[in-house]
Amino acid sequence: MVLNSTVSNFILGGYLQVGNLRYLYFMLTAFLYIVMVVLNTSLIVVICMNRSLHEPMYMFLCSLFVNELYGSSGLFPFLLTQILSDIHTVSASLCYLQVYCLYTYGNVEFVNLVVMSYDRYLAICCPLQYNTRMTCNKAVMLIGVIWSYSCGIFLIKLSLTIRLPLCRNIINGLYCLNYPVVKLACSDTKVNNIYGIVTTALFFLFTLVPILFSYLKILHICFSGSKQTRQKAVSTCTPHLVSLMNFAVVQSRLDMTSVPGVLQIILSLYFMILQPLLNPVMYGMEMSKIRNVFLKFSGFVK
């Protein structure tokens, strides 16, 4: 890929002049980032170190927590630097790198949740066949597909964006995203738009169908099965459903053109903050096996 030579850097127009309050914002942002890193890293270590958690479900969770670290690290160190800076600029190469990081993070997140819904379907609807249909080797293969697909599919979209001649360099946001960069182009962006619409439509077709199928089957088992089956379904599916619904609704593209600028900034941060905080808390608290192992590792339980 050859970087577009018409723009060497971008100006981020979403930062407000806040004076000494920047230090307060810096400390709050740093605190959130540290909490994300500690929570997700702790659960990754717990899963990797305890052999009783070396099962497909926990392997998918480990992939999810690794992705939270990847996505938050693609944003927060950059954000912390910009908060303390008087000139909010970013080089074109770093901007495109951030675009790639944040979009692959989103893809991995959603596809990982789709695979986890299929895993829960097998565990609840086909319990006798689960150990043969979802082995650790198959889980590793699926995780490899999740990451390779997500990292590969966006390279084409980014290549189309990089080749656009840009007439402006002011991005109205706190960080780089693909669509705001495309809007700066002074040439026809029809190819970018068509590719974006087609890939988005296919992406949701091949992800929403498995999710709907899995949870319709799980609901059927819940209503027709025993009380024990219903309790198992609720305990294992609740954190996954909450995470999935949050990502599908909150992370979807919303038209914020009529939203005040300050609220746009808050929402843009909320979109990137909630998932890395929500997932480790939800799974750590709701899934008893992880919670018990974590407490034992922490020394609270002997």
Question: Sheet of 9-12: strands edge to edge?
Answer: 89-91, 9-12, 170-171
**Residue-level pLDDT at 140:** 94
**Tens of pLDDT along 101-128?**
998 998 898 889 889 888 888 888 888 8
Tell me the two tokens of residue 244: 């999935």
Interacting residues of 245 by C-beta distance below 8 A, sequence separation 6+: none
**Residue-level pLDDT at 40:** 92
Place of tokens 């127009």: 13
Picking from 82, 108, 103, the residue whose alpha carbon sits closest to that of residue 18 is 82
Tell me the two tokens of residue 182: 């495309």
**Residue-level pLDDT at 64:** 92
Helix H or strand E segment including 129: none
**Residue-level pLDDT at 254:** 45
- pLDDT by position in tens, the chain (length 302): 445 546 788 998 878 777 788 888 899 989 999 999 999 998 898 888 888 888 898 899 999 999 999 999 999 999 999 988 888 899 999 999 999 999 899 889 888 988 988 888 888 888 888 889 999 999 999 999 999 988 888 888 899 899 888 888 888 888 888 888 988 888 888 888 888 888 878 877 887 788 788 878 777 777 776 666 666 666 656 665 666 666 555 554 444 445 555 566 666 677 678 788 888 887 776 666 666 666 666 554 44
**Residue-level pLDDT at 249:** 52
Rounded CA-CA distance 227/102 in Å is 42
Tell me the two tokens of residue 32: 């959130």
Q: Which amino acid is at 145?
A: V
Place of tokens 């590719």: 195
Rounded CA-CA distance 126/300 in Å is 36
Rounded CA-CA distance 168/185 in Å is 7
Beta bridge partners of 10: 90
Residue-range domains of the chain with CATH = 9-253+264-298 (1.20.1070.10)
**Residue-level pLDDT at 255:** 45
Give the global pTM: 0.84
Q: What is the largest CA-CA distance in the chain?
A: 66
